Each structure stands twice: as C-alpha cells, then as structure tokens.
Amino acid sequence: MAGILIIAEHLNGQVAKITKEIIGAANAIKDDLGGKLSIAVLSEAGSGIAGQVNLAGVDEIVSIDTGSSHFDASTYEQAIISLGEVLQPSLILIGHTANGISCAAAMAARLGAGFASDIICLRVGSDGVVATRSAHAGKVNLDLVFPGKGVVVMTCRGATFAAPEEGGTATMSGHVVAGTDTSIGTEHIAYIDPPAAEIDISKSEIILSIGRGIQNPDNIPRFAIIAEKLGVTLGCSRPFADSGHLPKAHQVGQSGTVAANCKLYIAVGISGAVQHLYGMKHVDTIIAVNNDPSAPIFGFSNYGSTVDALELAGALEGKLGIG
C-alpha cells in the first residue's frame, strides 16, 4: 500500500475550505510517504466539484457518482471502501467535521486500519506516518504512530494547514461502486442554511469574545458597543449562543466557528473549555481576562488579567467615550 487518499467535502456546489487545507497537509508529507495523492469526489454527475480540487500536488481526482450532492455517512463509507480496494492508499484523510466524524471511524474499523482524530500535524517517521493531536483538554500534544497498520484513517483539524494556491494538473477518472446496499432506510430531505448574519468569525482578524464571566446576558450590549467602537468583531462562547442571547454566527468553538484568520483574540469572562479552545487557541496573540486565576484559558494566552469583566468594561467605556 502507498499513497494518500483525501475525501473531498462540499456543500452547495462548493468544495469545503478544509479539503483544500488537507491537500496542503498531504503535499508536505507526500514525497516522504511515497505514492500518489488522490482525491475522491462523491457527488452527482456534473457537479463541477472535481475541478475545484485540481490543485498543486494532486495526482489524481476520482469522481464517484452517488446520485446526490448531499453527504450520507453510509454512502461515503461504502464508496471509500470500494475505491480503497483499487487505489490501495496507506493514508486516508478527511476533515474533522460533522461529516468526517460521521464516517471516518467506521471506515477504519471496516479496514482494520489505524485511526486518529482531530489531527493538527502530520509527518513521516522511520515507522511510517506520525500524527500529532492535542490531549488532556489541550494541555499537551501527543505523537501517534501505527505499528503494523498498512493503512491509517485520520480526521484533520480545520484552520491548521496551509492550502495550496496554485492550480494542478491532476488526471481525472471515475469509479463505480459495485454491490451498493439499497437497504439503508435514510433519505436526505433538505439542507437548511443558518440564519444570515452580518459577521463572519472565520474571516475576522480581531475578535472580542465574551462568556459567562460577564455575569448577566443583560451586559452583552455593553460589550457589543465596545466592540463596535474598537472596530472589532464580537464573539461569544457557547452558552450565550445556545440560549439565544446572541446569534449562532457569533459563537467561537467546535460547535460554532473556528477563528481561522484571527490575529488577536480577546477572551473576556471565558474559562477556556476544550470546545471553545478548539476555535481559537491557534491564534498568534491571545489576551485572557478572567477573575479566576486557575481558569484554563490562561494556559493558552499570551497575556492575562484577573480583573473583573465589568470593571474592564467600565474602563473601556470611559476611554472610548461611551455612556
């Protein structure tokens, strides 16, 4: 077995950003691992997705006509198992997303493969591919190896690897999945877009994010005005989004949005749960404000203060002429 197979993700006719990032990760280890870099595109015929993943370093793009542009875990699992028998890759990669999580572990189990999730770094060692992931609530990073495994399946974290910018010269081919299981009793009805929002956390360079440490949802408008005056984006932790006090578009974290392009992240009243850290701990400069000196967020921040969140709000309002 040799080579890398990436499973493309897409929505509404557009390839997902994380798929392009995984191509970048694969390019970095391709020569050391050996073999071709192949992309599997599962969609209805003529979707145009294949052309979008023809990027530098990709050797082959294999289209599989599933008769639908929508993701189905069982369909993806069966198709990749079938394609894998032909390509014989030593490494299968997909995004650490709702889709990737839904099918990757099952693929690994059926293949008898090694498996690792939420990968943040890839390299090739003397015994094969080495994957790095966070553990113990992000306090440490672990290197994982897979002795005796001819193939390894991994899900990769978004906003972690650099996507190639240049186009590629990949060959295009198709694959037909034989023996399709028609007994699966599921049907995709519709995809419902989230409510439109005026902000995009993934594109924001400076984010002022608030959590339960601001004591009361009634204090949210104070921080919203401060963020507006500073010309930065207002973010939040999950409780404020789940309770409806702020639109979901403001939520930073694993079940919200990754602050992919953020350069400065200011966390006010946020303890630093692992789900929130997923969305922001990669940021170059993090400022944490929390009156609990043992809050996990301080373990990931460049600068920190235990000043009360509302005291900080009052000081900023004074400096900005608010009130």
38 forms beta bridges with: 5, 60
Where along the chain do the CATH 3.40.50.620 domains lie? Answer: 4-174
pLDDT band at 138 (very low <50, low <70, confident <90, very high): low
- pLDDT per residue as tens digits for the range 20-40: 999 999 999 999 999 999 999
Question: Do 199 and 234 touch, CB atoms closer than 8 A?
Answer: yes
- pLDDT per residue as tens digits for the range 203-242: 999 999 999 999 999 999 999 999 999 999 999 999 999 9
- pLDDT per residue as tens digits for the range 170-210: 999 999 997 655 455 677 788 887 777 789 999 999 999 99
pLDDT band at 278 (very low <50, low <70, confident <90, very high): confident
- pLDDT value of position 181: 58
pLDDT band at 62 (very low <50, low <70, confident <90, very high): very high
**Strand 60-65 relative to strand 233-236, pairing:** unpaired
CATH class (in words) of the domain with range 201-320: alpha beta
Q: Which of 32, 37, 97 is nearest to 71 (CA)?
A: 97
Query: pLDDT above 90 covers what percent of the chain?
Result: 80
Instruction: Name which of 29-38, 73-82, 136-145, 257-266 the model is least confident about.
Output: 136-145
pTM (predicted TM-score): 0.79
210 forms beta bridges with: 236, 268
Mean pLDDT of 99-124: 96
Q: Which two tokens stand for residue 297?
A: 């967020």
Report the CATH architecture of 4-174. 3-Layer(aba) Sandwich (3.40)
Neighbours of 196 (CB within 10 A): 7
Among left, alpha and beta (phi > 0; psi -120 to 50; other), residue 47 is: alpha
Where along the chain do the CATH 3.40.50.1220 domains lie? Answer: 201-320
Interhelix angle 220-230/309-320, rounded to 10 degrees, is 40
- pLDDT value of position 21: 96
pLDDT band at 267 (very low <50, low <70, confident <90, very high): very high
